[in-house]
Amino acid sequence: MVLAVKIHGEAVAYPVRQMGYHHIMQDVVGGVPIAATCRTLCHTGLVWEATVEGRTLHFHLAGINNQNFIMRDEETGSWWQQVTGEAIFGPLKGRRLKLVLRN
């Protein structure tokens, strides 16, 4: 099983088995910085644009809340819900990441 994304004609696939440990894959696809996220426990794979207000953010796993994981960005220390892409704590609270839609 893979988590696949295609942006501006460039396609990439991330093996879910390999994502199971870190849960987040930072990459640039089609010139767009992304955070490919996968929570193997609840089978939730989502790809987010990793840019907010013109700044590229880098995420890592910060914890679990209600069976969903929380990401923390290195740049501001804000906490983000993986399932909604919303910052729930920190300087960027209330901002949302843009979901990369599948076509």
Q: Which sequence spans correspond to the domains of the chain? A: 2-89
pLDDT digits (tens, 9 = 90+) for 58-72: 999 998 877 788 999
Strand 32-39 to 24-29 pairing: antiparallel
pLDDT digits (tens, 9 = 90+) for 12-54: 999 888 877 778 999 999 999 999 998 766 677 899 999 999 9
Distance CA 84, CA 31 (A): 23
DSSP 3-state of 85: coil
